[in-house]
Amino acid sequence: MQKFLINKEALNADKAVIHGQDAKHICKVLRLKPQDAISMTDGHGTDFTGCIDQVSPELVQISILSEKKSLTESNLDLTLCTAMLKHNKMDEIIKQITQLGVTRWIPFYCKRSIPLSGQNREKKQIERWQTIARESLKQCRRSSLVEIMPPMDFQQVLVFSKGCSHRFAFWEASDRPLSGPVPGEDNSAVVLIGPEGGFEEEEIRRAAESGFMSYSLGPRILRAETAAVCACGLIQYLLGDMGGC
Ligand code: SAH
């Protein structure tokens, strides 16, 4: 069954309410009725089951029956940093990495990234990305929203990454294959993916100085969005919840 995202404010002891498009969807499309069961999440790792009390296209009122910590979240705190690409590619990345259990996403500017001009433009983009993340969460039944960070410059990304125990920079000129690193005490990882034009060598050198190892994704050149998805899947396999190790 589809999982609905409810805000903390819409959650009150043993009651919850759903408004807006979701209420309309529940009423008109799913045609749920009083007494029907419904699954929900707060977007911060907790799931709820509930029973519908009242339905209208504007408002659904629910009694919460049970609450549990989600089983869909990885034990790995995984941050993906991608150089700024064209809009539709960024949208696609958010959809895919939500499915792959990524914890947070940092878009960044570097020498060859695509610029996003104007402060307002950035604010609008972030809102749009957050909407995509919410929709993607419902589809894949996750319980934690991907945290979307405001765009950073490359130096800020390097500073942020100091807090992560495993640091992977994917670089097409690297000949180091990815193979199972031993998880550190703190199971966190950060992944760097460059722009379509690639990283400049100088950027890879600075990343290395900040504790990144550069890795290859094989002999073919992948599109940045393919590389991002592929890298997150492989790392979730090595250190998170997509493999048997
Ligand atoms: N312009 C470059 C390719 C850039 S691909 C060229 O034509 O050579 C965009 C990003 O995807 C790269 O910066 C890198 O982070 C990642 N990437 C693509 N293919 C890769 C590979 N085979 N190994 C490692 N990283 C790769």
pLDDT digits 0-9 by tens, 83-137: 999 878 999 999 999 999 999 999 999 999 988 766 678 889 999 999 999 999 9
Q: Is residue 158 part of a domain?
A: yes
CA of 174 to the centre of ligand 1 (A): 10
Domain span at 39: 3-69
Do residues 106 and 7 both lie within one domain?
no
Q: Where are the beta strands (DSSP E) in 57-202?
A: 59-69, 77-83, 104-109, 147-148, 152-153, 166-170, 188-193
CA of 109 to the centre of ligand 1 (A): 16
Q: Are 192 and 168 in contact (CB under 8 A)?
A: yes
Which CATH number belongs to the domain containing residue 182 in this structure? 3.40.1280.10
DSSP per residue, 199-232: --HHHHHHHHHTTPEEEB--SSPPPHHHHHHHHH
Q: Is residue 50 part of a domain?
A: yes
Do residues 82 and 17 both lie within one domain?
no
CA distances from 146 to 38, 97, 197 (A): 23, 8, 26
How sure is the predictor about 183, in pLDDT bands with cuts at 50, 70 and 90? Answer: low
pLDDT in tens, 22-77: 999 999 999 999 999 999 999 999 999 999 999 999 999 999 999 999 999 999 99
Do residues 52 and 105 both lie within one domain?
no
User: Ligand 1 within 6 A of 231 CB?
Assistant: no
CA distance 159 to 84: 18
Q: Is residue 244 part of a domain?
A: no
User: What pLDDT shows up at residue 171?
Assistant: 98
Q: Which of 222, 225, 230 to mutate to test the pocket of ligand 1 (most atoms within 8 A of CB)?
A: 222
